[in-house]
Amino acid sequence: MGKSYPTVSEEYKTTVEKAKRKLRALIAEKNCAPLMLRLAWHSAGTYDAQSKTGGPFGTMRHKLEQSHAANNGLEIAVRLLEPIKEQFPILSYADFYQLAGVVAVEITGGPEVPFHPGREDKPEPPQEGRLPDATKGSDHLRDVFIKQMGLSDKDIVALSGGHTLGRCHKERSGFEGAWTTNPLVFDNSYFTELLSGEKEGLLQLPSDKALLSDPAFRPYVEKYAADEDAFFADYAEAHLKLSELGFAES
């Protein structure tokens, strides 16, 4: 299905570029790229293709959505971003939070994810319980990403590679540790670490291990571990799709 992007004013486009510069500075200063990527993903990942509800429409600004168990810690991201958002009242929260995710990937050495402005803010958060559960396996991943969101096996594996950034915090998720030895660099090391087996001090969640045990997922893991360019290309495409769920549907 093609996209039919809304027309935004020249002033709006210029504002997006200005906000991007401010986001680069904030993320570099605070080393918060992983948190910003999580904010963008969790904002978008609530989309339900059947009911056409949820998705990347700025609802994470509401305390109610921040209080969902899967969003533990994201109030910090919202708080860090608010002073920049206040400088650009013309921007929707929906665009701003997705822009922060795009900048987080770019500033840590990852691929350039295309960004199309024009998302509108929705007034109400989606119901709780739509985001993936890291303690579950491949059936659950497909239920959430394919049946609910409308993404693919390839998208699931490529997006999982985003765990090259960041770490788990026990007080937020119940898990502790990073997936890679350099959690502030976006590269294909999530896949190389996954294939090399469990190591002291590095994290592998049940949802990570599912990528190895599932016969449809594993070939993508092997491909991305061997070819970072292939991972970057597929990641950029999957991130774009995630960031535009329910947006500009033609």
CA distance 62 to 45: 16
Sign of CA dihedral 108, 69, 149, 76: negative
Instruction: Please state the length of the chain.
Output: 250
Is 42 considered catalytic here?
A: yes
**Contact predicate 56/119, CB 8 Å:** yes
- Output the CA–CA distances (angstroms, integers) from residue 96 to 1, 22, 82, 232, in the order listed: 25, 11, 10, 23
**228-243 and 93-107 helices, crossing angle to 10°:** 170
Question: What does the DSSP 8-state code read for residue 183?
Answer: T
Determine which one of 42, 68, 163, 239 is catalytic. 42
Residue 112 phi/psi, 5-degree rounding, is -85, 115
Residues classed as catalytic: 42
